[in-house]
Amino acid sequence: MNIIDEGYIIGLRKHGDKSLILTVLTKHNGKLIGYVKGALSKKTFSTFQLGNLVHIQAYARLDENMLSFRIELIAPVAVSFMSSPQKLDVLSSFCTLCHDCLPEKEPLERFFYYIDSFFSFINEENWFVHYALFEYFLLDFLGIGLDLSECSATGVTENLAYVSPKSGKAVCFSAGQPYKDRLYQFPHFVVENNYFPTAFEVADLLDMTAFFLNKNFFKAHGLKFPIKRANLREITIEYKEAV
Amino acid sequence: MIGKEIDRLIKIVAKLPSLGPRSSRRIVLQLLKKKESSMLPLIEALTAVAQNVKTCEICGNYDTISPCSICCSDKKDNALLCVVQDVSDLWAMEKVSLFKGKYHVLGGVLSALDGIAPEDLNIEGLLHRIRKQEIKEVVLALPATVDGQITTHYLLSKLKETEVKVTTLAQGIPMGAELDYMDEGTLQLAFNSRKLL
């Protein structure tokens, strides 16, 4: 089995003195886990940082064997995260979610675009919007996506204002008004492809994705919701206020 | 045919860092050949260390006394505290004798992937020290990795509650390095933290 691809490092585990078990999120082959011999030598250890974009050559004699990696750095993306505590927290949340939720060796196809966007726009002012979109489309990729096309109560496609935590479907303003305290805000910026929403709109979407990820994925699989993911609402608002 | 006891010793030595079964066999063979000059002093030293060395109740360093000799030293500046990830970092800093203050060993760094939370580290001990002792500056000497920086920022947010000055080690080009041999990550980091001359 031979794989040549490129992707982002999302997990590192030390093995012995100088080697690593590496998890890489690749474009065409999805999440790959493999062994890198001598990764922690003085010359190469800076390559192996969470978030770095790498070229990967993977080999295993049999499909069920662990892959052996040869890694080359394409872009030191990790550096962009280092100086900002908010970015580091979001990167940590991103890596944990990808590590826990994504299946191994399954192509990510279109979903990789949102992963790529998160890393590519990390130096832009609206980087956290790309993170929120990643989570939204992660739900979709996992088969637990939200249906924002029409109101689940009346079937109308206009005036959509809420999302039901029960069904994950949109609810229009008139039907949702009596229950508005129990419903999530409709993420207009996602439907309208607006990449400059307010911090509160992004925080609302993050609240909603956290709820559905926890309910439909983590609880359903008997897993614990990542602690690093839990406080992203505050981080988003805090960052926007700081900027 | 190797005896049961020797085989057991080879297996134990092979578990040590940087050693495999082959080097472990060589070490054991050497010890057997030089019983008087190598093996018996080693046994003596190991027994002494096992019986007497403890973890310092203040900083987390290893020493025969607790508080350790660094914490008790009069030559060290009480107002200066350096936070390191592990005892090995403390020893590395002590080797060059550049730092005149005292140390605090965290015992790791925060890691969401490995499930290491603030409660797993010696952070409460650090805050307690800062509150009780007259510390004026805390140097965060944690690794320049994502987990290391997450820990640095976490500690910074915790230390904001105190009035202590917080600094961190510089990041960039190492001594004697040539730019064209530098990796992109280090170069970018060096550019990001460039200073005015």
Q: Render pLDDT for B145-189 as a digit per residue (tens, 0 to 9).
A: 888 988 998 899 889 888 899 999 988 888 888 888 888 778 888
pTM: 0.82
Q: Are residues A94 and A118 in the same domain?
A: yes
| Domain around A193 | 80-148+187-242
Contact A187, A203 (CB under 8 A): no
Check whether residue A134 and residue A196 sit in a common domain: yes
Cβ neighbours for B29, distance < 8 A, ≥ 6 positions apart: none
> Do A72 and A120 fall into the same domain?
no
Say if residue A125 is in the same domain as residue A220: yes
Does the residue A191 lie in any domain?
Answer: yes
- Confidence tier at A243 by pLDDT (50, 70, 90): low
What average pLDDT does range A61-67 have in this prediction?
A: 89
For the domain made up of B4-45, give the CATH fold: Helicase, Ruva Protein; domain 3 (1.10.8)
Mark which of A53, A77, A101 sits at the end of a domain: A77
Residues A59 and A112 in one domain: no
From B145's Cα to the closest Cα of chain A, the distance in A is: 6
Q: What is the 8-class DSSP label of residue A65?
A: S
- The identity of residue A98, as a single letter, is C
- Is B178 near chain A, with CB under 8 Å? no
Residues A84 and A110: beta-carbon distance below 8 Å: no
Shared-domain flag, residues A92 and A67? no
Distance CA B98, CA B101 (A): 9
Take residue A145 and report the two structure tokens written for it: 């996506």
Q: Is the dihedral of CA B174, B180, B184, B190 positive or negative?
A: positive
Q: Note the ipTM here.
A: 0.74
Q: Could you tell me where in chain B the CATH 1.10.8 domains are found?
A: 4-45
* Partner-chain contact A76 B184, CB within 8 Å: yes
* Number of separate domains in chain A: 2
Based on the domain organization, do A22 and A113 belong to the same domain? no
Let me know if residue A180 belongs to a domain.
no
A209 and A119 inside one domain: yes
Q: Which residue has the higher pLDDT, B112 or A136?
A: A136
Buried-exposed string B129-161: b where 16+ CB fall within 10 A, e elsewhere: bbeeeebeebbbbbbbbbbbbbbbbbbeebbee
For the domain B76-168, what is the CATH code? 3.40.1360.10
- Same domain for A197 and A123, yes or no, is yes
**Chain A residues whose beta carbon lies within 8 Å of the beta carbon of residue B153:** 85, 88
Q: Which residues in chain A have their CB less than 8 angstroms from residue B171's CB?
A: 82
Contact check, Cβ <8 Å, B183/A96:
no
Classify residue A8: in a domain, yes or no: yes
Instruction: Please report, for the domain that includes residue A54, its CATH number.
Output: 2.40.50.140
Summarised one tens digit per residue, pLDDT across range B8-64 is 999 999 999 888 899 999 999 999 999 999 999 999 999 999 999 999 999 999 999
Of A49, A76, A226, the CB nearest to B112: A226
